[in-house]
């Protein structure tokens, strides 16, 4: 395959940034998208040019670090993480545009790398449970109905990649926040802080300058882990209940 890459280049947060075009030849359809970027960077290095900075870690679709916008879609044309996207999803002769996540809460560090520390701060605000010290309880000490356990597990699969924010026209982080609230709110261990948790995490979400949720649903459509949109409904119910009990 021969392709043309249009890649966002930005030296730092204060740099204006620009699109740069690169030609790649003999790209294997079996390459992952990140492997293709590695080939590009090898080419740029040999030409004494600055390689493209991009985030990655596990390259197994687990960590969520690799997120970029490809041809206007978070993670690209397939509902998966960028590292699990393969070049066979594109055609010979394609021009592919690659950009970082676009959100005020995700400032660009360099090129395709953004600072997603805002997600960490939302977790720190309330995404935890109080754990008594001592030995672990027996596994059957707190029976949990299977539907609750399944919903908690589904919400817990969120990897915090930020695709939901990148896809949302409002740059809202509500699907991420809702996944964390739902995960803990479905379990008995998560009940002591349930009211305080949702208020603290929503307040931090807003403080980080994420946009508001208007239930457009783009977030769930691009989520590589399939977090359902109705987790946001559960977050809203928890928030209203907490405020009604005077926890605002």
- pLDDT, residue 133, reads 66
Q: Which CATH class is domain 116-244?
A: mainly alpha
Q: Quickly list DSSP for 179-194.
A: HHHHHHHTSGGGSTTH
| 152 Cβ contact list (under 8 Å, min separation 6) | 144, 182, 183, 184, 186, 187
Residue in this structure with the two tokens 């309880």, named with its chain if needed: 137
Q: How does pLDDT run across 119-159, given as a tens digit for each residue? A: 999 999 999 988 776 777 777 788 899 999 999 999 999 99
Q: Which CATH architecture has domain 3-110?
A: Roll (3.10)
Q: How does pLDDT run across 192-215, given as a tens digit for each residue? A: 899 999 999 999 999 999 999 999
Q: Where does CATH 3.10.20.30 sit in the chain?
A: 3-110
Q: Where does CATH 1.10.1060.10 sit in the chain?
A: 116-244
Q: Are 170 and 214 in contact (CB under 8 A)?
A: yes
């Amino acid at each position: 395959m021969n392709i043309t890459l249009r890649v966002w280049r930005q030296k730092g947060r204060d740099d204006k940034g620009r699109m740069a075009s690169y030609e790649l030849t003999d790209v294997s359809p079996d390459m992952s998208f990140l492997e293709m970027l590695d080939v590009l960077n090898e080419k740029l290095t040999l030409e004494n040019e600055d390689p493209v900075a991009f985030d990655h870690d596990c390259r197994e679709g687990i960590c969520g670090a690799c997120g970029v916008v490809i041809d206007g879609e978070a993670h690209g044309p397939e509902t998966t993480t960028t590292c699990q996207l393969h070049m066979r999803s594109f055609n010979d002769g394609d021009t592919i545009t690659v950009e970082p996540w676009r959100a005020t809460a995700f400032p660009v560090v360099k090129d395709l790398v953004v600072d997603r520390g805002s997600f960490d701060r939302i977790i720190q605000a309330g995404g935890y449970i109080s754990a008594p010290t001592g030995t672990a309880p027996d596994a059957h000490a707190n029976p949990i109905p299977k539907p609750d356990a399944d919903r908690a597990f589904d919400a817990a699969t969120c990897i915090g990649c930020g695709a939901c924010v990148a896809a949302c026209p409002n740059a809202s982080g509500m699907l991420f926040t809702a996944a964390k609230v739902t995960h803990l709110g479905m379990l008995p261990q998560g009940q002591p802080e349930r009211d305080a948790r949702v208020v603290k995490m929503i307040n931090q979400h807003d403080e980080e300058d994420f946009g508001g949720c208007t239930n457009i649903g783009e977030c769930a459509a691009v989520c590589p882990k399939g977090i359902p949109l109705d987790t946001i409904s559960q977050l809203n119910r928890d928030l209203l209940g907490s405020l009604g009990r005077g926890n605002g």
